[in-house]
A = this chain, B = another copy of it.
Amino acid sequence: MTCLCQQIAGKDIELSPTCIGNLWIFKDLDSADIKALSQDALRKKLVKGQSLFLQGDPANEMFLVKGGRIKLSKVLEDGTELTLDIRKAGDFVGENMFSEEGQYPVSAVCLEATMTCGFSRSQFEELVMKHPRVGLQIIKTLSDRISQLTNRVESLAVANIEERLYRVLSNVAKEHGAQSSQGVVIQFPLTHEDLGFLTGAHRVSITRAMKALKKAGKIILENKLLILPTLKIA
């Protein structure tokens, strides 16, 4: 099944094979439903740096990332920035649409050229009512997200920055990594400032910790990409 996304995206975004037509979540829908859903879904094409939504916006829509990468971050009262997660092709963004809050608690900003499909709450609710198995799949997805966030909480609780940074890198590598002969490679560049936002530490402290991790052989830096040689991918 050819997806509308491909026509819209053009050739500058490498699309994931994950789409409404073939996403595992929707695999038991009949073709009429799929057609209806994929026509309703609001496709958006975003450039690097563009935001999908900002913290505080009313949360009425949930997005499937078709291609690219999206950073979920938040600015705290004291002005410090915190990155909560980085989502990639095949992931959902805005899953808290279902919660009571009513607004997005974070901002979603594209790290690369990105393509998304958006769905409204009512669209999703209808879908789940009609196809309970889709509900089960979403439950599984949300459950995985909870596990991941639990890991994140654990990482941040580690006092020592070097250890904390390594845990953060491991988490990122597990989500965005590819196995190579040298180890797990994180598929996109991260500046020390980015890592600071992910780790909750000062940029300069990250530089120090990176130096120590390199020296300890726990990370390798190869043309802007990070490799974790001692990590096994799940």
Contact = CB atoms under 8 A, between A and B. Distances in A.
A139 interface: yes
Nearest to A105: B150
A125 B95 CA distance: 21
Interface string A194-234: 00000010000000000000000000000000000000000
A178 interface: no
A55 to B, nearest CB: 11
Given A76-B157, A98-B140, A157-B76, A84 B135 contact: no
A183 to B, nearest CB: 20
Nearest to A160: B78
Contacts of A96: 143, 146-147, 150
A30 interface: no
Contacts of A97: 143
**7 closest A-B pairs (Cβ-Cβ)?**
A135-B135, A98-B143, A157-B200, A99-B143, A142-B142, A132-B132, A156-B156
